[in-house]
Structure 1
Amino acid sequence: MKQFKTESKKLLDLMINSIYTNKEIFLRELVSNASDAIDKLSFQSLTNPELAPGADELAIRLSFDKDARTITVSDNGIGMGEQELDQNLGTIAHSGSEQFKAENAGSQPGDIDIIGQFGVGFYSAFMVAGRVRVVSRALGASSAFVWESDGVSGYSIEPASDEDCAAVGEHGTAVTLFLRPSDEDEDTDRFLSEWGLKELVRQYSNYVRHPVQMMVTKSRQKPRPEDAPEDYKPEYEDYEELETINSMTPIWKRRASEVEQKDYDEFYQSSFHDWVAPARTIGFHAEGALSYDALLFIPAQQPFDLYSKDFEKGLALYSSNVLIQEKCADLLPDYLSFVRGVVDSPDVTLNISRETLQQNSQLRAIARRVEKKVLSELKSMRDNDRDAFERFFENFGRVLKFGIYNSFGSKSDLADLLLFWSAREGRMLTLAEYAQGMPEGQDKIYYAAGESRERMEQVPAVRAALDHGFDVLLCTQDVDEFMLQALRSWHDEGTSGDSEGDGREPRDLELQNVSSADLDLASDEEKKEAERATADHRELFEALKSSLGEKVGSVRVAAGLGDAPASLAAEGPVSLEMERVMSQGPEADRAPKAQRVLQLNAAHPVFAKLVAAQEAGDEERLDLYASLLFDQALLVEGLQVDDPIAFARNVTRLM
């Protein structure tokens, strides 16, 4: 019995129990090793073609024995002799693949892609196996050898028997794992089935460049006997057939001219468990210091769990066709969390477990390119397929808005993708389209935020803006007000350089809520009338403020309210819509309140009633009017009245 050549027991225990977080990747590592062995043979055949079989004969074989509790991974690759078994498997962290790459640096052809790097993947077998047996015959050798270990006490290397030699043929390696019994911590029985092994290959090694084959049980109908009666029922029999269970060439590495959209759709639906085809497919290849292939999909519908705490963003990350991370979150910004897809790069620097990466700068470089590609595709969809873009925005517009609110990425790029409902035109507009329709002299973008478009269209401030010739964008999602306040303004590129444009100069347009107390939409004449009413009835405003107390910060006349007797506005950073949204949250009791302003319409008959009550000294009626007007304004804004019973009693008194 030989001892491992390092501080082996401690290091091997670390390898088995600490490096890998997922035990089922043992098959990925063994299949990758087998793939490397075949690639090394292919390289050797370039100088000595007689030693290697045809490319169609090279394969990786899987088999299992449920009764013996064994799994065998074999290949007809380059194989190993006694010295190589001792060096590669007896010396932990010695990578034969890495040594091969170093020795042949600069001379490997482009189709030889060695996966191994660290020389520890083989030992992942001990996460599920109590004993591992390796039979290997090196290319051109007359005999084979057997390496065996329990992963604890050391290992042995012995000449192989005739039976073992026959198992590996003229060259190759067979690794047999003797699985530990299942227990509460690990269900190893799940690996001892056709379905279990096929699923592991599909998940982790589906795109290994060589065929992974396994004898599978199938069913077929027996021939109908010549003397079968009329009521004969077909009989079936089971049979075994060697089947290739991996796809080998990944769709993202095939030429675009060779792939139809239906092929991309099938890959997307099967890989990402969606029952409809994607809205858009984006594929690209990058070369240079960091080479990679990417295949991205914009879903046509919203995942059911997109806004749940359990949702995980990320692209599938492969290295040399081997799955590294099923969802690599670093490849996508949060505001593109809905994007699905694959990135495959042989150049990313993996950590020793091949489950994470060592250099985040590589991921950042890929992520920036992915981000630009997706944003470019969305802008193209917006400009060339508006119906499709509006469907996309209905599903994922909220995610883009959160991106602006959280200041991820470029706010201007995201703002250009936003759509809002136009109160004037009755359709969805971009900010650029809104700016194009602005009348001369308008220097702000007006919006209103609330629960429904129908209700907002009746809000006095919205109607007043429309009456004065200004369009209003109606926002109905709870994130809208927060997002627009974070955005603050939008840069209008203008059309001064466009011969077909309207001659607009570039400018920054402030975003303003029409429910803001400092809104200025009135004409000069309306402003003069409001100023006269304010000067003539100061005592009335003081009395109303005294009656309402802390409910309002002030009472004033507002110009341009149309046929509304009064309206509520807000001063300061908290708008009425923000107050409404936060009042529905888990910490509603501590949510900040808007600084409310009760605005009166001096041209409305109700204002004359207020003046008359104040001049008559009827404080009781003035209190009644003040309370009713305030509660009515609350309801119009979609806010709850403080005391519904008192409101109903006041209405009854007035009747």
Structure 2
Amino acid sequence: MTVEAQKESHGFQTEAKQLLHLMIHSLYSNKEIFLRELVSNASDAADKLRFESLSNPELLSDDTDLRIRIEFDQEEGTLTISDNGIGMSRDEVIENLGTIARSGTSAFMQQLTGDQQKDAHLIGQFGVGFYSAFIVADKVGVFTRRAGLNADQGVYWECHGEAEYSVETVEWAQRGTRVVLHLKDEAKEFADSWRLRSIIKKYSDHIAIPVEMLKEEAPATEEGEEQKEEKAPEFEAVNAAQALWTRPRSEVKSEEYKEFYKHISHDFDDPLIWSHNRVEGKQDYTSLLYIPARAPFDLYQRDAARGLKLYVQRTFIMDDAEQFLPLYLRFVKGVLDSNDLPLNVSREILQQDRNTDAIKSALTKRVLDMLDKLAKKDGDQYQKLWDLFGNVLKEGPAEDFSNKEKIAKLLRFASTRADTEKQDQSLEDYVGRMKDGQKAIYYVCADNFATAKSSPYLEVFRKKGIEVLLLTDQVDEWFVGHMNEFDGKQFQDVAKGALDLGEAESEEDKAEHEKVVQESGALVERVQGVLDGSVESVRATTRLVDSPACLVVSEQDMGPQMRRILEQAGQALPEAKPIFEINPSHPLVQRLDQEQDEDRFADLTNILMDQANLAAGNQLADPADYVRRLNTLLLEMHG
């Protein structure tokens, strides 16, 4: 080989160096996975070459039989993984191998805990499989040439797993990539035929192209020794070399499904569940869908890469085909292989294709049915899934009207039924427990569980034994705004509008309320005079039992939780004044009613107003003024 360009040394970013060091040490207890990762990368390179050859057949013309080869040299202590796939140009080598994590490294590093076992799982999903080579090697060399480039445009990349790597242009005759691992002394076990074959069978049997090793021959006799030396090396496939999703379900073992998931997702954990399905008729396609057992670090980045691995007639097309599942199911991984789409399909064509819409609708229902089946069959496993992806599923009713009821049955909430933050109550169970005469599904929104659980809005519901859902996720108020109802029962925010318990409230309670309203009319007017301009109105309440006052918003107004989220996002919102409700039966309100000094009356009223704001989880407009009023009151009591 001749050097065509000067050798260049490059340094890794600081975070990338930390990540490399952490990964080498965190994954050391499972050293053999390096081979799975490198074989998986080689398989991807073959897929990409097939795809590019659809529009440029010359790329494949010199060598049409795609394969991966694994060779070792026990004396030299090397292990080599070669493929004749797409290969890389010099710029691609620097981009792909010179930057361990091309985006989101900082966010990823923040999630690392220092617990090697936990961090190992995160590292897998971050997609740094190539660097797992340094678990077993103290030096890695990569020879590569991109398909379509000349032999003098080959590239050699070298790294010792430290702060730097080098890149140089070399003469390289073969298309594809050759990765040479110089094994550490304690990893020489991987320069062994039996060990390598067993790892390939375990992790890479499903790879759709042959993974080859030198054919093992019986020891030659003396007469056959000369003949053997003249014989060219003969390779044989070690794996089954058949795409797993093309095989009948009855022939695929659970372990094979799990390993295939790890191949397509680069996750180190087994999936929670999967669904393998072949459809023939109006559409002709095969799908293999997985639900991960761990949420990806970028789950809440709605614009992050997502989607299924798309094949058309067994030919790889793209990695992240997002058109086949809605955004609220972005955590689903898997493969779709269609016979109805054109081989030259692009993302733009997919967006306009009727087959795409039909497949998306069918796959969405399949995932929802898979989740529903799990919820009914194994509540503990479903709870694990909900804890991981529940917030994302709550986006569903707003995005997928046709499946709103299916999604609603999958949702889980905390409620006043149990004194726990765990979201494990379904809407079906809630409706089944509703009191006689109760016509609404009651809920309260708050920024956290402690605020929700102790909310004054719950007092009358606790008194009457009526269950209330405790909604504390940011998406909740937005979700119920689109859900509206479930099983014919309207959702009702207990902090919005006038409280109506319907038939769950007795005639005696209604009559008592009317009496309280009439008797407190004068007090309401006095309070209204003090708070004029800062509230929409003042009224006597029936929703409080132990608290003196609370703030509610009008039925048509946006709740405070949603208002805060939109304001934090920089959205300008029209001013909305709350309704101030007082509890005439509370001793503090009765004491207020007896106050003759108007200045003192105003101070006491403003203290109650500020307390109501605090109880609702709101920020005070003037905390210092609240403290001053309260201190004055305390001093007067002491005097």
- The normalised TM-score by structure 1 is 0.63
Aligned equivalent of 1:158: none
8 A Cα contact 2:310 2:317, kept in partner: yes
Q: Which residue number in structure 1 is paired with residue 493 of structure 2?
A: 513
Query: Match of 2:268?
Result: 275
| Kept in 2: contact 1:207–1:249 (CA 8 A) | yes
Matched with 2:480 is: 484
Aligned to 1:290: 283
What is the aligned counterpart of 1:632 among 607, 611, 621?
611
Bigger RCO (CA 8 Å, 6+ sep): 2
Q: Structure 1 residue 531: deviation in Å?
A: 2.8
Indicate which of 148, 151, 156 corresponds to 1:129: 148
**Aligned CA distance change for structure 1 residues 417 and 482 (closer, same or farther; 3 Å):** same
Q: Identify if the C-alpha distance between structure 1 residues 384 and 193 changes in structure 2 by more than 3 Å, giving closer, same or farther.
A: closer
2:435 to 436, 439, 447: 439
Matched with 1:115 is: none
Q: Tell me which of 194, 201, 217 is aligned to 2:178.
A: 194
Q: Secondary structure at the match of 2:533?
A: helix
**Shift in Å, 1:59:** 5.3
Decide which structure has greater helix share: 2
Do the aligned partners of residues 373 and 419 (structure 1) sit closer, same or farther apart at CA in structure 2, a change above 3 Å counting?
same
Q: Name the amino acid aligned to 2:625.
A: A
What is the match of residue 519 of structure 2? 536
1:417-436 matches, cutoff 5 A: 417-426=410-419, 428-436=424-432
Answer whether contact 1:320 1:346 (CA < 8 A) is retained. yes
Distance 1:546 1:591 in 2: 26
CA contact (8 A) 2:68 2:210 kept: no
**Which SS does the other structure have where 1:447 is aligned?**
strand
Judge conservation of contact 1:554–1:596 (CA < 8 Å) in 2.
yes
Give the direction of change, closer, same or farther, for the CA distance of 1:363–1:652 in structure 2 (3 Å limit).
Answer: same
- Counterpart mapping for 1:371-410 below 5 A: 371-410=364-403
Q: 1:358 to 1:452 in 2, by over 3 A?
A: closer
Where does 1:170-189 land on structure 2 (aligned, <5 Å)? 178=151, 180=153
Q: TM-score, normalised by structure 2?
A: 0.64
**Matching residue within 605, 610, 614 for 2:592:** 610
Counterpart contact for 2:48–2:316, Cα < 8 Å: no
Of the candidates 341, 358, 362, which is equivalent to residue 365 of structure 1? 358
Q: Tell me if the contact between 1:569 and 1:576 (Cα under 8 Å) persists in the aligned partners.
A: no
Question: Which residue of the partner structure matches residue 641 of structure 1?
Answer: 620
Distance 2:264 2:345 in 1: 27
| Change over 3 Å in CA distance of 1:35–1:250 after alignment to 2 | farther
Which string of whole-angstrom CA distances, capped at 9 and with x for unpartnered residues, describes residues 562-605 of structure 1?
1111111111231233234334x1316x2445441111111111
Matches within 5 A, 1:24-43: 25-26=48-49, 28-29=51-52
Render the CA deviation track for 1:512-550: whole Å, top value 9, x for unaligned: 011113112354434434433433343432222222233
How much has 1:555 moved relative to structure 2? 0.8
CA contact (8 A) 1:282 1:295 kept: yes
Q: How many residues align?
A: 462
Q: Which one of 242, 249, 263 corresponds to residue 242 of structure 2?
A: 249
Aligned-residue identity in percent: 31
Shift of 1:447: 0.6
Pick one of 549, 558, 574 that aligns with 1:566: 549
Provide the secondary structure at the position in 2 that maps to 1:194. Answer: strand
Aligned to 1:467: 463
Q: CA deviation at 1:422?
A: 2.1
Does structure 1 conserve the Cα–Cα contact (< 8 Å) formed by 2:146 and 2:154? no
Cα 1:241–1:644 shift into 2, 3 Å:
farther
- By how many angstroms is 1:486 displaced? 1.4
**Deviation by residue 1:37-84 (Cα, 9 ceiling, x = unmatched):** 99xxxxxxxxxxxxxxxxxxx955689xxxxxxx989xxxxxxxxxxx
Ranges in structure 1 where 5+ consecutive residues have no aligned partner: 1-21, 39-57, 64-70, 74-125, 132-177, 197-204, 219-238, 492-507
SS at structure 1 position matched to 2:365: helix
Asked if the contact 2:309/2:336 (under 8 Å) is kept, the reply is: yes
1:568 and 1:421 mapped to 2: Cα distance? 23
Residue 252 of structure 2 aligns with which residue? Answer: 259
Work out whether 1:551 is the aligned partner of 2:570.
Answer: no
CA distance in 1, matches of 2:434, 2:318: 49
Higher Rg of the two aligned structures: 1
Q: Which structure 1 residue ranges, 4+ long, deviate > 6 Å from structure 2?
A: 31-38, 186-190, 205-210, 352-355
* Deviation (angstroms), 1:400: 1.5
Q: Does 1:599 align with 2:595?
A: no
Q: Residue type of the partner of 1:473?
A: L
| Whole-Å separation in 2 of the counterparts to 1:604 and 1:446 | 24
What is the Cα-based RMSD across aligned positions, in Å? 4.0
Contact 2:499 2:543 (8 Å CA) reproduced: no
Asked whether 1:315 is paired with 2:298, we answer no
Q: Residue type matched to 1:443 in 2?
A: K
1:416 counterpart SS class: helix
